[in-house]
Structure 1
């Protein structure tokens, strides 16, 4: 079969560390274009991987007519880039948060449906080996009902990760709209929905800028979630875990407790009420310092090759985004916010 012609819009660190190398490693993909307002960045990738460099994504879509596009831009550009790509007939993989508001996310979904292309959100936590193992265990039923949970995602902040360091768009409200919640919190709202096979019904949250100077995007959030099943738990996102990141989840269940990502070697630990303990070494989570393949690009390509809608669809992306938006609304109104 012909290779899938892929273009990458936005050539920052997420493209450099994940999207581009993972596409390059996929035998079904030909990288045809790289687009970034800083031409040298796009040119660097074009020289290394082949393809052409652009500064304007509209021009790139018109000239290259790619089969598929990764949108790795600042948050505020996710919707316009994704909609333009869908209208150009390209399948779209968009980084999280898929959009900065529900209306934009809905417009992205509509554009993909109208043009008969797939829209996938880059919610990679579903594909991390410890999370896959945890879900497999939950599905056996041996844990019984999940009664309560805590899930947390924190690191020292995007200045350690972004290609622009402290001058990154991550800290500019007009480009990012949201901070730690859009960067990390949306990963955990997606994870908990998927892991528990349950939807969030209510959110109460404190979302604040506690320590990052010179920015008004949130650097910390603590949320209380009530699921439709009645399960309650906390979701924490932070850019101020300066000594040691955290990507862990603990589920307290009828028949015991499950620790996910709390131990450096045993990524999943199950302690049952009968006293037995099970430890699973299934592979680590990807971190900013230690990259392991995310699986997202391969899943996206597989969807296109097999003409199967992606599991992590635009609709799924919107449901996970809605939790984050409710957290901001709770912070603003000082009220518990219901998700319809």
Structure 2
């Protein structure tokens, strides 16, 4: 039985996790670790802590780390040292540095480490992945086109976009980090990344100190026949027509996943139009709820996480390589500083 839960951070995602924790663990003592000291007690919580030391004395059995990415490891490492099971919001950190220490510590302390890439729990993305990997419709995949775009000032209602996490380098903002879901699911579907080319740009009039657009060319590790799959990934904060799409181009046709509609479409060889072959209307909290249920099963049954610490590290290695490639205008090998 989980009796004590800690939620680190009370932004939009922290408040969502708090609500779901109360829904699934109605009798638990749920506390929130906040940096803002006041007398406010968030709904669904039993109270707040304002220092990591106080939170550690609470001895939580599980914790959700949902503060800004640059500060994830500052709280995750001490919690893991106490054997606390961890669900860490994406991205795992703001760089790959020291993530291996957290993975090794969680293994040594036998605590669950899971990363919050909740798109993996979308039925439509699961179906897209199954169809791509089976080759039953599109055949052998030759190329991938992936894009996500949305306008930052209207992304999250109720606040000034300039003060939010997405807009500030010090808080782990920028399109590359904030939209890293795409990197995670591309690795999940198409395998480990071999190399990256990238351009990170500030192309708009948005008042932010981070890139508003990231354009990546990603080479995956070659498969048995020597073929290397290459994907283009475009991410931005400037697009007014909100988009989240991935297209896998195969020898027998193309498969398209649309996250906004929950549809998987197929364009067969010789066809005239796209055909919708799968459709699922996703409810607002559904993927997060499935993520939580999976996390709780991991604690009870000690199964392997759907999104492991190693998966989160892979994403950060791609991000670090993209930054180096953008700085050098060259190609960056994963786990190598050589061009």
Offset from partner CA, 1:208-251 (integer Å, 9 cap, x none): 2222544321111011111113111111111112x232111011
Alignment pair present for 1:306 and 2:304:
no
Do the aligned residues in 2 keep the contact of 1:258 with 1:269 (CA within 8 Å)? yes
User: Could you say if the C-alpha distance between residues 163 and 80 of structure 1 is closer, same or farther in structure 2, counting changes exceeding 3 Å?
Assistant: farther
Offset from partner CA, 1:168-188 (integer Å, 9 cap, x none): 243232232x4111010x211
Partner of 2:310: helix, strand, or coil?
Answer: helix
**2:215 counterpart (194, 216, 222):** 222
Look up the match of 1:231: 229
User: Could you say if the C-alpha distance between residues 339 and 28 of structure 1 is closer, same or farther in structure 2, counting changes exceeding 3 Å?
Assistant: farther
Do the aligned residues in 2 keep the contact of 1:3 with 1:28 (CA within 8 Å)? no
Shift of 1:159: 6.8
Look up the match of 1:22: 20
Partner of 1:193: helix, strand, or coil?
Answer: helix
Shift of 1:121: 0.8
Look up the match of 2:225: none
Matches within 5 A, 1:173-212: 173-176=169-172, 178-184=173-179, 186-196=180-190, 198-211=191-204
Alignment pair present for 1:105 and 2:102:
no
Do the aligned residues in 2 keep the contact of 1:148 with 1:231 (CA within 8 Å)? yes
What count of residue pairs does the alignment treat as equivalent?
A: 325
**1:252 counterpart (223, 227, 249):** 249
User: Could you say if the C-alpha distance between residues 169 and 163 of structure 1 is closer, same or farther in structure 2, counting changes exceeding 3 Å?
Assistant: farther
Matches within 5 A, 1:271-310: 271-273=267-269, 275=271, 277-284=275-282, 292-294=286-288, 295-310=290-305
Aligned-partner Cα distance in 2 for 1:283–1:159: 23
Compute the TM-score of the two structures, normalised by the length of structure 1. 0.88
Look up the match of 1:170: 166
User: Could you say if the C-alpha distance between residues 88 and 332 of structure 1 is closer, same or farther in structure 2, counting changes exceeding 3 Å?
Assistant: same
Aligned-partner Cα distance in 2 for 1:119–1:333: 34
User: Could you say if the C-alpha distance between residues 14 and 91 of structure 1 is closer, same or farther in structure 2, counting changes exceeding 3 Å?
Assistant: same
Runs (4 or more) in structure 1 with deviation over 4 Å come to none
Aligned Cα root-mean-square deviation (Å): 2.3
Aligned-partner Cα distance in 1 for 2:121–2:324: 29
For structure 1, list consecutive stretches of 5 or more residues without a partner in the other structure: none
User: Could you say if the C-alpha distance between residues 149 and 157 of structure 1 is closer, same or farther in structure 2, counting changes exceeding 3 Å?
Assistant: same
For structure 2, list consecutive stretches of 5 or more residues without a partner in the other structure: 223-227
Look up the match of 2:324: 329
**2:76 counterpart (82, 88, 106):** 82
User: Could you say if the C-alpha distance between residues 270 and 160 of structure 1 is closer, same or farther in structure 2, counting changes exceeding 3 Å?
Assistant: closer
Matches within 5 A, 1:13-162: 13-16=12-15, 18-27=16-25, 30-40=28-38, 43-45=40-42, 48-62=43-57, 64-142=58-136, 143-157=138-152, 160-161=155-156
